[in-house]
Amino acid sequence: MTYDVAIVGCGPVGALAANLLGQAGLSVLVLEQERDPHPLPRAVHLDHEMMRIFQGAGLVDRLHPLMRETQGHLHIGADGGVIRYMGTAGQAKRFGWANDYFFYQPELEAQLRDALARFPAVTLRLGAKLESLTQDDAGADLVLAGGETLRARWVIACDGARSAVRKSLGVKLDDLDFEEPWLVVDAEVDGPIVFPDIPGLPAGADLQQLSVMLCDPRRPATIVPGRGNHRRWEFMLLPGEDDQAMMATEQVEALIAPWVEGSTYRLVRAATYRFHGLVAERWRVGRVFLAGDAAHQTPPFFGQGMCHGLRDVSNLAWKLPLVIAGLANEALLDTYQPERDPHVRGVIGAAVNAGRYICQLDPAKAAERDAHMREVMAAAKPGTTAADLIPAYQAGVARPGSGERFIHPRVGGVLLDDVLGEGFAVIAREPVASSPAFAHIGGSIHVIGQGLDDADGALAAWLDAKGAAAVLLRPDRYVYGVAETADALPALIDQLRADLSLKVAAPEETACPV
């Protein structure tokens, strides 16, 4: 048989891709060379947008119990005082979920894999190592170790930073000129982390619920809360330090000792890494897409590395079904990199810039940095969080000035997306005419006050701020565009059809009042 999509790699990104495409009704082959999820924690953080994606994929009931809700990020200067705060203590959840969650990756991967059993058209092949991949105009042949050949119309490579698929395609990485060696330590700790008094700590901020970055020129470090009693430290390796020596148990215990005083703990792992800023030069080669670490690698200073990959496959998961169903031209898939690449580079740029000041080892320059950072913090918009680092889409399937993530308030006691369902959605102030062509591509219209209980006024306030009568949302809940008047909505939908490169002819436009 020929599968609609083959996914190479079943880490969190590949497993989510399989869940989303399975939910869309596609036949999916997942190849993973390891039989069990990786046993050690790697990624630890995700944000509200990932929880929203899990919600839409029918996964949130499985995954939410695994998460620890936290308050964001705090940066401490060389003098021990606050120099940057991107926290959420006391803030409303305008995107429905908390801004920051921490998790234990082996648990997350296991649940994502187990959830694939929901879809009879999804085939998970564990212990299946891809040996080679060839393409033609209609699909790709995947040859496994042992000689078995499988075929799919499209392929998504989620096979990690050392992606064999990327290498086989000859895709080079654009190096954003950041590489620093760090020691990552994970431990199970039976008590709270011990912090000194920190001048300038904002009211309501809880150090046990924050990712704390110590910008200390003696040794930059991070302390991260995890789910349950899991904690993570990241220590920058100083010039001349040896990786193996720094991973020795006695050295690790000496580094974490000040923070676990009075508590017992169990070391889970200690490993050295090189934090990189890298982006693939091409994200699509023929019928193959790169996603996750195969396409980009982000320094971990804002916890967005895995989030990028989950956004990647969420982007593909609404476009591929339209193309495979024959509704949209394959040109729609050319919008993948123009949308995702600048998005990723924007966040990597912010992470690299943070890394440069975090890794400052010169005490005099660190003092100058601290003074400058405090000036920036004083001038910043109140309530700024790491979520504000995520830019709007500037190209692809979005009208100029749109492309941002839409808010996610509660309506009638449930989160908005549970009312909107899947596919494209219009939120309007008043009943408007629908369109058979819009419905044919999975579009629906929802009216405030008639099915949308905007009790707290969040939807109306958003439209007020845009001077709009209606907003048109993509299936991934990014804003496609707004209509200033109800009469302008049909033209906006027509523009969407053009931007999607739709092959289906528009049915006769008969008014269908909502």
Q: How confident is the model at residue 407 (pLDDT cuts 50, 70, 90)?
A: very high
Residue 502 has pLDDT above 80, yes or no: no
Q: What is the mean pLDDT of residues 319-336?
A: 95
Instruction: Report pLDDT for 439.
Output: 86
Average per-residue pLDDT for the chain: 93
Residue 512 has pLDDT above 50, yes or no: no
With left for phi above 0 and alpha for psi between -120 and 50, is residue 72 left, alpha or beta?
A: left
Q: How many CB atoms lie within 10 A of CB 124?
A: 20
State the Rg of the chain over Cα.
24
Please give the Cα distance from 95 to 387 (Å, whole number): 10
Residue 504 has pLDDT above 60, yes or no: no
- Which tokens belong to 154? 């499209």
Q: What is the mean pLDDT of residues 53-80?
A: 96
Q: What is the mean pLDDT of residues 335-345?
A: 95
Instruction: Report pLDDT for 40.
Output: 82
Please give the Cα distance from 296 to 345 (Å, whole number): 9
Q: What is the mean pLDDT of residues 13-41?
A: 95
Yes or no: say if 243 and 274 are a contact pair by the CB < 8 Å rule: no
pLDDT tens per residue, range 449-498: 998 999 899 999 999 999 999 999 999 999 999 999 999 999 999 999 88
Instruction: Report pLDDT for 505.
Output: 46
Q: What is the mean pLDDT of residues 261-285?
A: 94
Helices vs. strands in the chain: H and E counts, helices first: 14, 26
H or E element, residue 370: helix 363-379
Instruction: Report pLDDT for 511.
Output: 35
Q: What is the mean pLDDT of residues 385-399?
A: 89
CATH number of 2-68+97-171+279-357: 3.50.50.60
pLDDT tens per residue, range 147-164: 999 999 999 999 999 999
Percent of the chain with pLDDT over 70: 97
Instruction: Report pLDDT for 89.
Output: 87
| DSSP secondary structure string for all residues of 495-511 | HHHHHTTB-SPPPP---
The backbone torsions φ and ψ at residue 458, rounded to the nearest 5 degrees and listed phi first, read -65, -40
How far CA 433 is from CA of 65, 439, 445, 462, 502, in Å, comes to 41, 12, 9, 22, 21
H or E element, residue 355: helix 336-358
Q: How confident is the model at residue 503 (pLDDT cuts 50, 70, 90)?
A: low
Place of tokens 């058209």: 121
pLDDT tens per residue, range 30-44: 999 999 888 888 899
Instruction: Report pLDDT for 265.
Output: 97
- Which tokens belong to 395? 């190209």
Instruction: Report pLDDT for 510.
Output: 37
Instruction: Report pLDDT for 506.
Output: 45
Residue with more model confidence, 390 or 63? 63
Q: Which of 7-21, 184-198, 374-388 has the lowest mean pLDDT?
A: 374-388
| DSSP secondary structure string for all residues of 274-309 | EEEEEEES-SEETTEEE-GGGTEE--GGGS-HHHHH
Yes or no: say if 255 and 185 are a contact pair by the CB < 8 Å rule: yes
Within the chain, what is the greatest distance between any pair of CA atoms? 75
Place of tokens 């979005």: 398
Residue 422 has pLDDT above 60, yes or no: yes
Instruction: Report pLDDT for 513.
Output: 33
Please give the Cα distance from 229 to 434 (Å, whole number): 52
Please give the Cα distance from 26 to 5 (Å, whole number): 7
Residue 417 has pLDDT above 70, yes or no: yes
Please report, for the chain, the start and end positions of each structural domain, with discontinuous segments joined by +.
2-68+97-171+279-357, 410-499
Please give the Cα distance from 347 to 388 (Å, whole number): 10
pLDDT tens per residue, range 207-257: 999 999 999 999 999 999 999 999 999 999 999 999 999 999 999 999 999
pLDDT tens per residue, range 341-381: 998 999 999 888 888 899 999 999 999 999 999 999 999 88
Q: Which of 191, 233, 225, 185 is nearest to 208 (CA)?
A: 225
Determine the topology of domain 410-499 in CATH. Answer: Glutaredoxin (3.40.30)
Residue 509 has pLDDT above 60, yes or no: no
Instruction: Report pLDDT for 285.
Output: 98
